[in-house]
């Protein structure tokens, strides 16, 4: 929304191009050769238009005056009509294919960009909303690239061609065209702005309506219990009626301006027709008794007159395509403008040797003044510390202090950090990221599940890679027993083949976390990173999950982020993260905190 406003002010400040317009322009340039070809077809279209008008005018005037016509001219006229159809056909094919290439290419760029952003993508929006951008918003560009963009060229081409062919026939008609065209264009801009405003308002109100529906629908169980479903229905009905009323009041205005434009075009055509009619009857006030044009010329002008305004009117109809595309571009730019960290590409830069002293000698994972700030704002204050192999560390701290950022750093998604990070005494930039990641197990707050059976999710991304066999059934069972999943999985009617969906499958939060633990066990990862695995669970369940974690993670290097409300009694170390850095709580304090 804010961006929109910025764009608007930029627009008002002068003819400075908005970032959206530049973005759309760049995309269109990718397909410039196709658009050039489409322009070629456009020229063919315009020429056949004039040819058709000329041939048919001749045929018609002969028919009116002599009751006969010449076959070659008729055939020429019909051939021109066929040529028009062909030119249209070609233009359409090329423009839609250009639009397709642009959109599908852009979508691929977006998906790969989001992938590289990793967890940072969630700072833009949640996944469901991102999917809307990647699919619906990209497709919203279609009308712009397949219709509006080529139409802009036609709007300049066709009137010019018509003016050129009219000039030698009648100067008066030429002048009428010349004078009315700019007025029509001014009107167009006016109409466009009105339509844009209407569109914007409509979109936001419609979003509000959907929001209200979803709110009531999600609380439907509650409404049923309270026996208030009819009242909610009434509310939905009222707000839909109110929406209808306000939208109509906007649309009446918006359509009125389009209608005025139409009327304006018809008036100009009528002016020309009146001039021609009176001229043919030789009653024009300034030249009574003589005709300025012949019947053929008059018919020629009359056939061309509507065509002169037609592209403009079409552009007016397609104007909303531009609005839609610019609104979509705002959302898409937000994704593309979220910077990727790119230190890996210039990894050699921080090769500086660090005094071995500052990092714990036997630290498996070591930080030295490791911090991360983005646009002047600290996401993670510089911290120093080390985790030994097989050590289990509990990290706590206020929300927003950078606990998750530290985990994302270790996962290799945020490489734009300051200070040093060592893995096995090697600078993080120099290690092989995929080797390091293969050692990791990741257990976030909401477990990462794809749509599919429990089995598929447990084996997600395991095996099927060269040299690594997929875990055997026995290993799978062992992991399930260890993580205490076996009981509830056996209770499921479909067992391991139960489908997991977005909403789980009636499995409780604790059970889902246990499944994550089983998955971590199956992956045989040495380093476990856990981000608040117990938030959202009630106290008893959380405790039980933590107990399980305690037993299965012995011997693993583990970093668990957890609030003080869910203390990790069995951790070897307790770090508390503050704005000032990392503080190791003594074991006594640790015990106290738990007590």
Partner 1 sequence: MSNHATKTAKLSLKSLLLANPWGFAVPVLVGIIASLAGVALLGVSGWFISAAGLASAIGSALVFNYLTPGAIVRGLAIFRTAGRYGEQVSAHNHLLGLLRTLRLWVWDQRVAKDSANLHEQSRGDLLQRLVSDLDQIIRWPLVVFLPWIYALLSYAAVSVLAYFILPNLLWPLAIAAVFHIFIVPFVCGYFASHAVHVGQILGVHRRGRFVSLFSALITLTIRGHWKDYAQRLDQLDERQRRSEIVIQQAVSVGRFLAYLVTILLLVSCFYLVSVYQASTDNWTLVDGVQGTWFIGFVLSLLAVNELVLPLVQSFVAQGQSQVGLRRLNQLHQDAQVQPDGKIQTIDRMTFSEWRGFYASSGMGNDALDLSVVAGEKVWIRGDSGSGKSTLLAAIAGDCLSTGKAFINDEACDLYGNRGYQSQLSYLPQTPYIFQQSIAANLRLGNPDASTEALWSVLDAVALADWAKSLPNGLETLLSSQGRNLSGGQRKRLALARLLLRQSPVLLLDEPFDGLDKATIATICHSLQNAYKPSILLLVSHVSSQLGDNARVIEL
Q: Which stretch in 63-71, 161-169, 186-194, 371-379 sits in contact with partner 1 by CB under 8 A?
A: 63-71
Nearer to partner 1, 273 or 427 (CB): 273
User: At its nearest, how many Å lie between partner 1 and the CB of residue 15?
Assistant: 32
Q: Which stretch in 243-251, 380-388, 416-424, 584-592 sits in contact with partner 1 by CB under 8 A?
A: 243-251
Helix 295-336 vs helix 32-66: angle between axes, to the nearest 10 degrees? 160
Q: Pick from 32, 33, 156, 237: which binds partner 1 (CB under 8 A)? A: 237
Residue 254 structure tokens: 């918006």
Q: Pick from 168, 218, 375, 474: which binds partner 1 (CB under 8 A)? A: 218
- Measure the CA–CA gap between 102 and 1, rounded to whole angstroms: 25
Instruction: Tell me: does residue 593 bind partner 1 (CB under 8 A).
Output: no
Instruction: Tell me: does residue 280 bind partner 1 (CB under 8 A).
Output: yes
Instruction: Tell me: does residue 121 bind partner 1 (CB under 8 A).
Output: yes
Closest CA to 358 of 386, 380, 382: 386
Instruction: Tell me: does residue 358 bind partner 1 (CB under 8 A).
Output: no
- Measure the CA–CA gap between 315 and 154, rounded to whole angstroms: 9
User: At its nearest, how many Å lie between partner 1 and the CB of residue 108?
Assistant: 7
Nearer to partner 1, 222 or 473 (CB): 222
User: At its nearest, how many Å lie between partner 1 and the CB of residue 478?
Assistant: 20
Residues 93-112 binding partner 1 (CB under 8 A) are 93, 96-97, 100, 104, 107-108, 111-112
Q: Pick from 11, 47, 125, 243: which binds partner 1 (CB under 8 A)? A: 243
Helix 229-280 vs helix 295-336: angle between axes, to the nearest 10 degrees? 150
> DSSP alpha helices (H): ranges in 219-294?
220-226, 229-280
Residues 365-424 binding partner 1 (CB under 8 A) are 411-413
- Measure the CA–CA gap between 27 and 149, rounded to whole angstroms: 11
Q: Pick from 10, 74, 354, 427: which binds partner 1 (CB under 8 A)? A: 74
Nearer to partner 1, 23 or 528 (CB): 528
DSSP category for residue 414: -
Instruction: Tell me: does residue 495 bind partner 1 (CB under 8 A).
Output: no
Q: Pick from 40, 192, 219, 581: which binds partner 1 (CB under 8 A)? A: 219
Burial label, 20 (beta-carbon count in 10 A; 0-12, 13-18, 19+): buried
- Contact in structure between 417 and 371 (CB atoms under 8 Å): yes
Burial label, 482 (beta-carbon count in 10 A; 0-12, 13-18, 19+): middle
Neighbours of 339 (CB within 10 A): 11
Spell out the residues 6+ positions from residue 42 whose beta carbon is closer than 8 angstroms to its own: 87, 91, 150, 153, 154, 157
Nearer to partner 1, 57 or 571 (CB): 57
- Contact in structure between 138 and 103 (CB atoms under 8 Å): yes
Instruction: Tell me: does residue 300 bind partner 1 (CB under 8 A).
Output: no
- Measure the CA–CA gap between 303 and 410, rounded to whole angstroms: 72
Instruction: Tell me: does residue 497 bind partner 1 (CB under 8 A).
Output: no
Instruction: Tell me: does residue 183 bind partner 1 (CB under 8 A).
Output: no
Length of the chain: 595
Give the binding-site size for partner 1 (rule: CB under 8 A): 142
Instruction: Tell me: does residue 278 bind partner 1 (CB under 8 A).
Output: yes
- Measure the CA–CA gap between 56 and 73, rounded to whole angstroms: 7
Nearer to partner 1, 129 or 164 (CB): 129
- Measure the CA–CA gap between 147 and 154, rounded to whole angstroms: 11
Instruction: Tell me: does residue 68 bind partner 1 (CB under 8 A).
Output: yes
Q: Pick from 506, 580, 588, 595: which binds partner 1 (CB under 8 A)? A: 506
- Contact in structure between 417 and 409 (CB atoms under 8 Å): yes
User: At its nearest, how many Å lie between partner 1 and the CB of residue 409?
Assistant: 13
Residues 40-59 binding partner 1 (CB under 8 A) are 56
For 124, phi and psi rounded to 5 degrees? Answer: -80, -55
Residues 520-549 binding partner 1 (CB under 8 A) are 523, 538-541, 544
- Measure the CA–CA gap between 225 and 182, rounded to whole angstroms: 64
Nearer to partner 1, 15 or 245 (CB): 245
User: At its nearest, how many Å lie between partner 1 and the CB of residue 329?
Assistant: 20
Nearer to partner 1, 268 or 553 (CB): 268
Nearer to partner 1, 451 or 554 (CB): 451
Beta strand residue intervals within 491-541, DSSP E = 499-500, 527-531
Residues 245-264 binding partner 1 (CB under 8 A) are 247-248, 251-252, 255-256, 258-259, 262-263
Q: Which residues of 136-170 are buried (b: 16+ CB within 10 A; e: fewer)?
A: ebbebbbbbbbbbbbbebbbebbbebbbebbeebb
Nearer to partner 1, 86 or 185 (CB): 86
User: At its nearest, how many Å lie between partner 1 and the CB of residue 49?
Assistant: 12
Instruction: Tell me: does residue 450 bind partner 1 (CB under 8 A).
Output: yes
Q: Pick from 338, 444, 477, 593: which binds partner 1 (CB under 8 A)? A: 444
Instruction: Tell me: does residue 130 bind partner 1 (CB under 8 A).
Output: yes
Q: Which stretch in 19-27, 40-48, 323-331, 499-507 sits in contact with partner 1 by CB under 8 A?
A: 499-507
């Amino acid at each position: 929304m804010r961006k929109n406003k910025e764009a608007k002010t930029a627009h008002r400040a002068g003819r400075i191009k908005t970032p959206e317009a530049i973005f759309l322009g760049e995309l269109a340039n990718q397909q410039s050769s196709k658009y050039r070809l489409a322009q070629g077809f456009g020229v063919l279209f315009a020429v056949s238009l004039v040819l058709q008008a000329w041939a048919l005018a001749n045929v018609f005037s002969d028919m009116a005056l002599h009751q006969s016509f010449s076959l070659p001219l008729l055939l020429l006229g019909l051939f021109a009509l066929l040529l028009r159809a062909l030119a249209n056909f070609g233009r359409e094919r090329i423009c839609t294919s250009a639009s397709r290439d642009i959109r599908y290419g852009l979508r691929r760029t977006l998906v790969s960009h989001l992938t590289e952003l990793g967890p940072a993508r969630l700072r833009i929006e949640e996944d469901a909303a991102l999917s809307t951008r990647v699919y619906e918003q990209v497709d919203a560009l279609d009308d712009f690239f397949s219709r509006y963009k080529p139409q802009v060229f036609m709007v300049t081409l066709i009137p010019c061609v018509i003016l050129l062919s009219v000039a030698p026939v009648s100067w008066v008609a030429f002048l009428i065209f010349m004078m009315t065209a700019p007025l029509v264009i001014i009107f167009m801009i006016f109409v466009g702005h009105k339509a844009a405003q209407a569109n914007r308002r409509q979109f936001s109100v419609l979003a509000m309506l959907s929001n209200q529906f979803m709110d009531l629908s999600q609380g439907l169980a509650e409404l049923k219990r309270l026996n208030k479903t009819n009242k909610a229905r009434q509310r939905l009905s009222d707000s839909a009626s109110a929406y209808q009323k306000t939208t109509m009041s906007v649309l009446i205005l918006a359509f009125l301006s389009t209608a005025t434009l139409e009327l304006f075009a018809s008036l100009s055509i009528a002016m020309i027709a009146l001039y021609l009619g009176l001229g043919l009857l030789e009653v024009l006030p300034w030249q009574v008794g003589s005709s300025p044009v012949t019947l053929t010329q008059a018919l020629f002008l009359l056939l061309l007159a509507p065509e002169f305004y037609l592209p403009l009117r079409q552009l007016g109809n397609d104007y909303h395509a531009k609005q839609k595309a610019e609104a979509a571009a705002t959302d898409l730019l937000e994704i593309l403008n979220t910077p990727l960290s790119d230190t890996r590409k210039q990894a050699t830069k921080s090769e500086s040797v660090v005094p071995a002293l500052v990092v714990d000698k036997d630290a498996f994972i070591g930080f030295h003044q490791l911090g991360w700030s983005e646009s002047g704002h600290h996401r993670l204050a510089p911290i120093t510390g080390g985790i030994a192999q097989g050590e289990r560390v509990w990290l706590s701290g206020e929300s927003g202090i950078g606990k998750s950022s530290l985990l994302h750093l270790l996962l290799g998604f945020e490489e734009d950090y300051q200070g040093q990070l060592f893995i096995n005494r090697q600078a993080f930039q120099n290690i092989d990221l995929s080797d390091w990641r293969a050692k990791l197990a990741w257990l976030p707050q909401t477990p990462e599940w794809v749509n599919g059976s429990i089995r598929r999710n447990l084996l997600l991304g395991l095996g099927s890679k060269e040299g690594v066999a997929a875990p055997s059934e026995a290993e799978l069972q062992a992991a399930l027993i260890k993580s205490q999943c076996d009981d509830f999985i056996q209770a499921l009617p479909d067992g391991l083949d139960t489908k997991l969906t977005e909403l789980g499958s009636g499995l409780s939060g604790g059970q889902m976390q246990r499944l994550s633990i089983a998955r971590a066990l199956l992956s045989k990862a040495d380093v476990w990173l856990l981000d608040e695995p117990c938030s959202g669970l009630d106290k008893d369940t959380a405790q039980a999950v933590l107990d399980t974690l305690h037993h299965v993670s012995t011997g693993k290097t583990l970093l668990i982020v957890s609030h003080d409300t869910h203390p990790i009694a069995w951790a070897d170390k307790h770090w508390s993260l503050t704005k000032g850095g990392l503080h190791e709580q003594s074991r006594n304090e640790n015990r106290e905190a738990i007590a």
